[in-house]
Amino acid sequence: MIELATPQEIIVNLSSLIENERRMQNLQQKELALKADVPLPSYRDFIYKKRISLESLIKILIALRLFDNISGLLKQREYKTLDEIKKEDLLLKRIVK
């Protein structure tokens, strides 16, 4: 079954995951922000207003040792057939008018 989520739902789930992990590791928000080298107001903006820069988010995930959870996003797609490689090559070419 395909599970669809909006970007806002994903952000809410991610902030909950991070807050739960912070608590499990017995860290105060201030301690995590310091450990992650992220300003405390930036961390609080993420938790309460659901806003954060990608760099700060990655720093927090690394500080909590959660970075493996998103490492799948960094994997390159593996091709299975020559046809898939040819199709990908066609998609990368610019259309000139």
Residue 97 belongs to some domain of the structure = no
Give the tens place of pLDDT for each residue, 13-60: 999 999 999 999 999 999 999 999 999 999 999 999 999 999 999 999
CATH number of the domain enclosing 46: 1.10.260.40
Q: Burial letters for 53-64: b for 16+ Cβ neighbours within 10 Å, e otherwise? A: eeebbebbbebb
Residue 79 belongs to some domain of the structure = yes
**52/55 Cα distance (integer angstroms):** 8
> Residue 52's domain spans which residues?
7-92
One-letter amino acid of 95: I
**1/17 Cα distance (integer angstroms):** 23
Indicate yes or no: pTM above 0.85. Answer: no
Q: Which two tokens stand for residue 81?
A: 């057939």
**Tally of structural domains, the chain:** 1
